Amino acid sequence: MRLGKDLTGKPIISINDGRHLGNVKDLYVNTELYWLTGIHVGQEGLLKRKALVIHRDNVVIFGIDAILVKQADVITDDKELPEVADWQRLDKLRGREVDTPGGTKVGTIGDIVLGEEGHISGFALAKIFVEGTIAEKGIIYREALIDTGHTDGKMTVDLPKVERLYQEPPPKPDEPSEPEAKMNS
């Protein structure tokens, strides 16, 4: 597992011709916060700004030193890839408040924790407002998330479940659930 910030700044290389396509500026995740959905490569245009994006399906491997993609023409813009409108950029997720159903402030999101295949397994906290195991670990597993905060800007977690998951971390998901698979297609 690794943090999303570990991918930021990495070079993007085409495996069919070894061409350097740019560097990772940011990451996109789906609104349910299950999967990494794309890579933000930058922007272009003075009047009509377009975000340059690589869809997750075009990534071959998230390597230690570089991101390898299928071919050199995988970069598209958000106008040609309409689903980008439903994705969230990681930089917009950072700083999102995390609380409990009762309103107890837990902390703020600092980063995502990614599995090898691009699934989000948890969230690293930047600021922590509670004591105990959460303060020691600094990570909340995705399984404990009740509400992603997509509409109101506040994520909600099941605090007892967070504590239980620290005792026995959740297994890595091998396949996305049916709703997740539809989002990725």
- Tens of pLDDT along 81-95? 888 888 989 988 999
**Confidence grade of residue 184 (pLDDT, cut at 50, 70, 90):** very low
Query: If you average pLDDT over every residue of the chain, what do you get?
Result: 87
> What integer pLDDT is reported at residue 150 of this predicted model?
84
- For 101-160, write each residue's pLDDT tens digit: 999 999 999 999 998 778 999 999 999 999 988 999 999 999 999 999 988 889 999 999
- CA 53 to CA 88: how far, in whole Å? 12
The residue extents of the domains of the chain are: 2-89, 94-167
The answer to whether 99 and 154 have CB atoms below 8 angstroms apart is yes
> What integer pLDDT is reported at residue 155 of this predicted model?
95
User: 3-state class of 106 per DSSP?
Assistant: strand
pTM listed for this prediction: 0.82
- CA 60 to CA 45: how far, in whole Å? 28
> What integer pLDDT is reported at residue 174 of this predicted model?
53
- CA 78 to CA 160: how far, in whole Å? 40
- CA 177 to CA 22: how far, in whole Å? 32
Class of domain 94-167: mainly beta
Q: Does domain 2-89 have CATH number 3.40.718.10?
A: no
> What integer pLDDT is reported at residue 179 of this predicted model?
47
